[in-house]
Amino acid sequence: MNDTVKWIVRIVPLVAVLFAFMPCLHAQDIKDTLKEIKVIDARKQKVSNDERINNFSPGQKVRSIDSITLVQYQAQQVSTLLTQQVPAFVRSYGFNNLATLNFRGSSAAQSLVLWNGVPLVYAALGMTDVSLLPVSLVNKVNIVYGGSAALWGSGNVGGAVLLEDNAPVFDTAPKAHISAMLAAGSYSRYNGDIKASFSNRKWFVSANVFGQTAVNDFAYTDTFKHIDKTMDNARLRGAGGVVRAAYKMASQNILSFTAWYQHYYREIPPALFETISYKQQQDASLRLLLDWKHDKEHSSFYAKSAFIRDNIHYSDSALSIVTDNLSYQLYEEFGWKEKINEHHQFLVFVPVTLAWMQQLITHVTKQQTKAAVAMAYSLSLAHSKLHFAINARGEIINSQSILLPGADGSFALTKWLSIRANAQRTYRVPTLGELYTFPGGDSSLKPEQGWTEDVGYTVKTNLGQHISFYHDLSYFNRNINDWIIWFGGAIWTPHNIASVHSRGMETENRLLVTAGKWQFHAGLNTSYVLAVTTASYIPGDSSIGKQIAYTPRYNGQLNIGFAYRGLYLNYNHTYTGYRFYTSDESGPIPPYNTGNIQASYSARLGIPFTLFASCNNVWSQRYQVVYSRPMPGVNWLVGLRADIL
């Protein structure tokens, strides 16, 4: 790792020189790429490799992050990408700490992250840490809003983030490609990765290896003592990669294998109420996926098998604490899709999940098994203006049997206006971590269950020859009984809340103006969420009628910028409203604004290359996402990606 850091340090001056000579270089025209729209109608365009999005979710809100945006965040984590570009709340515990998702007022355990259709859930935690997911390792990022347990599995209550690889491409002649990326930034941060691929008529092989390191010694204000400090015990080191091999057995059969391994070492800095911290955490994950697809003209079959091993090693030398959270997941899925004609198609698939972990201290193995049969039927009528889908999942979780029905649809009223609606039953059984964490777990927890509904409309039109406008509005409503929440003192334990009612509204707006080779864009995302406790098992509970902890009522992002040939510039402004770290709203956390800039320049100087730079929190806002966990002020990152071959 030290040699890699030295190599990156030597390259950084070259990056600066290239920026200085950028206007003199001949840019390649990327206007075709810029025509891609950030918010994509899943009914009109194939945005995913997953048929559940493409053909069986016409009434659900689906957003696809475009390739230009992914380029701007290629040296950052998925947590940063979602915070700045998606109207969802990312609950970040500060640099080097856990970051989890909150869709429409849901808890972290109610929001799924899937990798090529496989749930990435730490069985020992019951959630996904999105701060440990590098953007550079994935090709597609799709967000599915609202619950759809029938399609995505019990536990999908608030929404899902789908991370995907591109489908393998086979070439008639052997073809190879190699690119490398180097980046450096504030607080002694260095990133690097190498991507390589080879393909011919029968084989596709690729590898993506990354490494990163940072000291994270940023300045912050201790709001308790009203003094300025420098963050201590905040070093980060990470490395890993993804290797993939696909074999084309016949014109309609593809077998692929993917291995993803990564290891992070993180020092956990002190909270404001701590004098010093000696906490450290190491996260090691191994993900293996074997995938087979057989496509015909009107039907397709697929099968996938995945094995996931997660190890979280935590230590605190001040308290002589050393723990190992080791968990495993085995995931199997078989599916069949049939397109009867242009109007009717159906999907049947059988997912099976086996998860197990060892309890701390006792070392007793606990496991959870989920087996389901899911079906979806899609109907298209009125010259493809009306799309309707019904779906259902029968699932057995250990000894519990449940039925999860749902339905959604959309209708194009005009060429520029469409409406949609979605209704799904939700159900989430307590995770292994919630049941058996020792100490703290509660084996008597009840499963969460309820219904979620949302409606919305989309306006997509051209205001003249050079102006396009996109506007989307969604209203959602969700009632969940036996909501699971953690709270406590020295030892945190999960508890059931009798009932939680969540409702709210989201809007997404985008304006694109084209003038010759210039393109100007402006976008505004807003979110209003009211998620309150409506009933409690505790007599006289002061949380009744109060907002669920760490759920902001208001959240929004503004994007404005331009593109000219190979040059791209965007200013992003993110607003997050009041949150409360207590259940009775007695502990408010102030709202905050952050300004962020992304820029890139693509050109050819012997070889194609892209220069990119970002500056986060340009106004140096002093803020906290989570109580007593300060975030850094202004910080920058600059990098270079070049196609070597």
Whether the predicted pLDDT of 560 surpasses 60: yes
- Provide the CATH number for the domain formed by 2-643 in this structure: 2.40.170.20
C-alpha–C-alpha distance, residues 130 and 82, integer Å: 9
Choose the weakest-confidence range: 79-83, 176-180, 490-494: 490-494
Residue 487: pLDDT band with limits 50, 70, 90: confident
Residue 30 has pLDDT above 50, yes or no: no
The residue count of the chain comes to 645
The predicted pLDDT at position 489 comes to: 63
Place of tokens 């009744």: 544
Q: What is the mean pLDDT of residues 518-525?
A: 97
* Residue given tokens 């593109």 in the structure block: 563
Task: Give residue 478's pLDDT band: very low, low, confident or very high (50, 70, 90).
Answer: very high
| Cβ-Cβ contacts under 8 Å for 187 (sequence gap 6 or more) | 214, 215, 216, 217, 218, 632, 635
User: Which residues, 6 or more positions from 514, have their beta carbon under 8 angstroms from its beta carbon?
Assistant: 466, 467
pLDDT value of residue 490: 62
The answer on pLDDT for 573 being more than 90 is yes
Amino acid at 317: S
Residues 6+ away with beta carbon under 8 Å from 163: 78, 113, 114, 115, 116, 120, 133, 138, 140, 141
Contact 347, 117 (CB under 8 A): no
Q: State residue 358's pLDDT score.
A: 82
Q: Is the pLDDT of residue 572 over 90?
A: yes
CA 94 to chain centre: 17
Residue 182 scores a pLDDT above 60: yes
Residue whose structure tokens are 């007593």: 628
Q: Closest Cα to residue 575, out of 598, 553, 549?
A: 553
Interval 336-361: pLDDT, tens: 999 998 899 999 999 999 999 987 77
pLDDT at 613 over 90: yes
What does the pLDDT read at residue 124?
A: 77
**pLDDT score of 288:** 98
SS3 135: helix
pLDDT for 225: 80
Cis (ω within 30 of 0) for the bond into 439?
Answer: yes
Pairwise CA distance, residues 544 & 174, whole Å: 65
Residue 48 pLDDT level (bands cut at 50, 70, 90): confident
Could you state, in order of their start, the residue ranges of all structural domains in the chain? 2-643
Asked if the model's pLDDT at residue 45 lies above 60, the reply is no
pLDDT at 29: 36
pLDDT digits 0-9 by tens, 234-284: 999 999 999 999 999 987 899 999 999 999 999 999 999 998 999 999 999
Is residue 228 packed enough to be buried (19+ CB in 10 Å), middle (13-18) or exposed (0-12)?
Answer: exposed
Q: What is the pLDDT of residues 94-132, one digit of tens each?
A: 877 889 999 999 999 999 999 999 999 888 778 899 999
Q: Provide DSSP, 589-608.
A: E--EEEEEEEEEEEEEESEE
| More confident: 545 or 4 | 545
Distance CA 209, CA 196 (A): 9
Query: Is the pLDDT reported for residue 7 higher than 80?
Result: no
Residue 37: pLDDT over 60: no
Residue 540: which pLDDT band, with cuts at 50, 70 and 90?
confident
What rounded mean pLDDT belongs to the chain? Answer: 89
Tens of pLDDT, residues 360-395: 777 788 999 999 999 999 999 988 899 999 999 999
Report pLDDT for 515.
95
